[in-house]
Amino acid sequence: MTTQAKTMTTQDIANRLVELCKQGQFHQAHAELFDENAESIEPESAAQMGWEVKTKGMDNLKKKGEQWNNMVEEFHGISVSDPLVTTNGITFTTSMDVTMKGQPRNSMEEICVYQIRNGKIISEQFFY
Amino acid sequence: MTTQAKTMTTQDIANRLVELCKQGQFHQAHAELFDENAESIEPESAAQMGWEVKTKGMDNLKKKGEQWNNMVEEFHGISVSDPLVTTNGITFTTSMDVTMKGQPRNSMEEICVYQIRNGKIISEQFFY
């Protein structure tokens, strides 16, 4: 056996995830807390806005993050609720204050759901 | 224009839904708060346990409820978290204390997500 870091509990992951989201550090959250094969799921309606509904794997999640960054004119801030936690799941709500390129400043609310296996996030799903 | 009941806000729906879930009155929640064409979504893994992953329409949701009831030996109780609410969404966690037929008494935790349009729930999705 090799030396391994202690597996994070779902509550540990929830606390760190909320901390990083509050700082707008979404890329850091992916790098630190997500499984290599993690999936990201948007609502079906997001396809009309040029988003893939399902994105799989860290390389593709990183590209998705870059796609988002390229659409943002200015990120003004985000508020994040306290998380609700089950054995293998995390849910919380966010409200982002953001100006997308070519659009007026807007408030975007989401429900976020994360599924955890073996101390890593294997999926994120957004509802808006 | 005909006389209509005042459209429920998402917070109204969340409060009533949590109240009914705490009483185990899932059928009443469907009848009272759901749109006629509402969808119910289980995890992909539920297919292995004989569940449809997607069920659409109140008639089929009713049948799904009966399928659940037929699998339960005894429903001991449920705890429900306070809901988190966005403009068009509700999320909360539940922990059910239940004995399924042929199985030992068990605690089943879920994250529940509901999407609302025009004062009615148009989808429920469960994560476990």
Q: What is the CATH number of the domain that holds B118?
A: 3.10.450.50
Quote the pLDDT of residue A6. 85
| CB within 8 Å: B86 and A113 | no
Domain-located, residue B69: yes
Statement: residue A11 has pLDDT above 70: yes
Asked if residues B95 and B109 have their Cβ atoms less than 8 Å apart, the reply is: yes
Cβ contacts of A91 on chain B, cutoff 8 Å:
84, 91, 93, 111, 113, 127
SS3 state at A124: strand
**Phi (first) and psi of residue A42, to 5 degrees:** -100, 165
In a domain, B2, yes or no: no
> So what's the pLDDT on residue B58?
96
3-class secondary structure, B115: strand
Q: Is B61 in contact with B41 (CB distance < 8 Å)? A: no
Partners of A91 in beta bridges:
A84, A113
Span A81-93, average pLDDT: 98
**A93–B85: do the CB atoms touch at under 8 Å?**
yes
DSSP code of residue B80: E
Query: Is the Cβ pair A84, B127 closer than 8 Å?
Result: no
Work out how many domains chain A is built from and give that number: 1
- A63 is in which domain, residue-wise? 10-127
A114 in a domain, yes or no? Answer: yes
A21 interaction partners in chain B (CB closer than 8 Å): none
Is A58 a domain residue?
yes
- pTM of the complete model beyond 0.90: yes
The answer to whether residue A1 sits within a structural domain is: no
Q: Is the pLDDT of residue B113 over 90?
A: yes
Is B95 within the bounds of a domain?
A: yes
Question: A5 in a domain, yes or no?
Answer: no
